[in-house]
Amino acid sequence: MQKSCYPRLGLESNFMKAGIDYIGVSCCFVCHDGKGKILLGKRGENCRDENGRWDFGGGQVEHGESFEQTLRRELMEEYCVEPVSIKYIGTRNLIRSLDQGSSHWIANLHLVEVDPSQVQNGEPHKIDEIGWFDLDDLPEPMHSAVADQMEFVKEYLRDV
């Protein structure tokens, strides 16, 4: 019997991988404090790819979820925080070449204001460290998608 990517049908779900075997859809967020600093997480060895690189947050949209539901779920999972505000800023087509092959995601990008005093590392098994950074003093190395999108994101953050 062929494996399926439809776990709700009770079949095995490890046959096809989002972003690798088919185009994945994600909601990404740039968390900010409302005062010019952004929150980044350093990807740990248990992340899917680009380990050791600083990244915005986000995750795959699950079947039946709205973008806002995905954002709220991922914010709670990664940073243990509820958003103060959410602003959609655009959709990006992310095609990357990785050691294990190519990756293709449609990323729906949002600015999300959060209360810095509430933020915690909710996934220490995936995120080695988190930190708040000025737009002009970002850590290295950056995730390839972040590096590619930073100028686009800065335009929106300067108005915050």
**Predicted confidence band of residue 39 (pLDDT cuts 50, 70, 90):** very high
Whether residue 141 has a cis bond before it, omega within 30° of 0 = yes
pLDDT of res. 108? 96
H/E segment holding residue 29: strand 24-32
Taken as a whole, the chain contains a residue count of: 160
**Per-residue pLDDT, 3:** 39
Within 13 A of 126's CA, how many CA atoms are on the CB side? 15
pTM of the predicted protein model? 0.85
Rounded Cα distance, 86 and 44, in Å: 26
Per residue in 76-102, pLDDT (tens digit) is: 999 999 999 999 999 999 898 877 778
- Encode pLDDT of 111-143 as tens digits: 999 999 999 999 999 999 999 999 989 999 999
